[in-house]
Amino acid sequence: MIREIIGFGLIYIGVVFDFFGVLGLIRLPDVYNRLQAATKSVTFGTGGILLGIFVLQGFNNFGFKAILGIIFIFLASPTAAHAISHASHRSNIKLDEKTVVDQYAEDNENK
Amino acid sequence: MKIFRWILGIIILGILAYCNFFVYKGEIIFKLINVILFASLFVLYRVIFGPSAADRIVAVDIFGILIIGLLAIIGLFYDESFYMDIALIWGLLSFIASLAFAKILERRHLDD
Amino acid sequence: MSLKNRSRITVFFLSLLVWFALTDITNLQEVILGIIIAIFVALIAGHFLITTEKRKHIFKRIGYALLYIIKFLWEIIKANVHVAYLVVHPKVPINPGIVKIKTKLTKESAMTILANSITLTPGTLTVDINLEKQELYIHCIDVHSKKIEDNTKDIGNRFEKILMEVFE
């Protein structure tokens, strides 16, 4: 009984944060800000869903696969975000006009 | 322009309320699947109308992670563990695809 | 035993563990196939995992790793509440910019873990790493100051001490 409450609670929290992340993908102004909001929230949300499934299923086949999925997501998603942000800065995609400072571009010009 | 977008959002919310989207009826798990599908609709908006190529790549990357959660919930409903296999393979492929897209955006060769 | 062989044996047991998580352990056929595939994986890609000798004892490092995971989970929860606040707020109060910080870590694996942690914590995203100069370029959603020292204190020092204990 208490196991079901904890498991479904984690799944609800995960789905809500997934939705917030996608809302950030729509509302924020440029590529880097979108990448920040979307990567953080969607990774945490999907991790929450998989952890809830592990709590509900226990130590069987399904549960172990969910744990593998959590480890994989938390390693892969920031790496992909890093690659995309690096590539878009290299291919001269402009930052938003609200931007205060860009020390990376300054250092690249000085080289 | 901003007022137009607000009106559009209110109309969409009205349609959802009319179709009993917010009312609990039947299995609660179907509601969760509906919320994730609705979020995927937003991601598709960013894929189609994104101003630059990088926005589209971000959207595709996020879409891959959302699908992992969706497949996991479907697998929980049917109580079958092979949905989780599909989710893991999908996540691996979408990760490799994001890296390849990033390298193409940077105009670098793939074996660099 | 040389360092390469030790690394290969570690990779063999890790890949066998993953295979048993994905398949049925009571079936003898699956077990034999898993052992064969794990030997292949360890022979081909085994020598990349452990490359240097560590000075500290393994149990001490595992303890610090657990401490690191707890701190990391707390920071992730804070980050998500922050993002939810920013997204729901009607005016989207952001103040973005790319800043530079310095780090004391030297190993590549430690730098990778630090960069991934910075990406998942509140308001920051790693854009590039400079391994020789030990600098990281970070996109902040809310820039407070433009000096390198202040930003290093704000962003990097949250994880650096624990990662020093785990990896060096």
Please indicate, yes or no, if residue C23 is contained in any of the structural domains. yes
For A39-77, the pLDDT digits (tens) are 888 889 999 999 999 998 888 888 888 888 999 998 888
Q: Is the pLDDT of residue C167 over 80?
A: no
Distance CA A49, CA A28 (A): 25
Nearest chain C residue to A36 by CA: give it.
C125
Taking CB atoms and an 8 Å limit, are A84 and B36 in contact across chains? no
Compute the nearest-CA separation of A42 from chain C (Å). Answer: 9
Distance CA A85, CA C104 (A): 24
Domain count, chain C: 2
Per CB-CB distance under 8 Å, the chain B contacts of A14 are 69
Taking CB atoms and an 8 Å limit, are A98 and C83 in contact across chains? no
Q: Indicate the residue of B45, B81, B106 with minimum beta-carbon distance to A61.
A: B81
Instruction: Read off the tokens for B46.
Output: 């960013």
**Cβ-Cβ contacts under 8 Å for A94 (sequence gap 6 or more):** A30
Please indicate, yes or no, if residue C143 is contained in any of the structural domains. yes
Q: Which of residues 32-61 of C touch A (CB under 8 A)?
A: none
Q: How many residues make up chain C in this entry?
A: 168
User: Where in chain B are the domains?
Assistant: 26-105
Tell whether C63 and C109 lie within a shared domain.
Answer: yes
Tell whether C121 and C82 lie within a shared domain.
Answer: yes
ipTM for this model: 0.85
Domain count, chain A: 1
Tell whether C65 and C42 lie within a shared domain.
Answer: no
Please indicate, yes or no, if residue C53 is contained in any of the structural domains. no
For C98-156, the pLDDT digits (tens) are 888 887 777 777 788 888 888 888 778 888 887 777 788 888 887 777 777 777 777 76
The pLDDT assigned to A62 comes to: 85
Instruction: Give percent of chain A above pLDDT 90.
Output: 10
Question: With contact defined as beta carbons under 8 Å apart, do C103 and C97 qualify?
Answer: no
Work out the angle between the directed axes of helices A61-90 and B53-78 (0-180°, nearest 10): 170
The 3-state DSSP class for residue C142 equals strand
Distance CA C18, CA C127 (A): 32
Distance CA B101, CA B93 (A): 12
Per CB-CB distance under 8 Å, the chain A contacts of C86 are 24, 28, 37
Tell whether C112 and C32 lie within a shared domain.
Answer: no
Q: Residue-wise pLDDT tens for chain B (112 aa)? A: 778 888 888 888 888 777 776 666 667 788 888 888 888 888 888 888 878 888 888 898 899 899 999 999 998 888 888 888 899 999 999 999 999 888 888 876 666 5
Per CB-CB distance under 8 Å, the chain C contacts of A79 are 116
Tell whether C23 and C105 lie within a shared domain.
Answer: no
Residue A37 lies in domain: 2-110
Tell whether C31 and C72 lie within a shared domain.
Answer: no
Distance CA C58, CA C62 (A): 6
Distances (CA, A) of C149 to A70, B79, C43, C104, C123: 35, 53, 45, 13, 18
Residue C118 lies in domain: 58-167
Distance CA C15, CA C36 (A): 11
Neighbors of chain B with 3 or more C-beta pairs under 8 Å: A
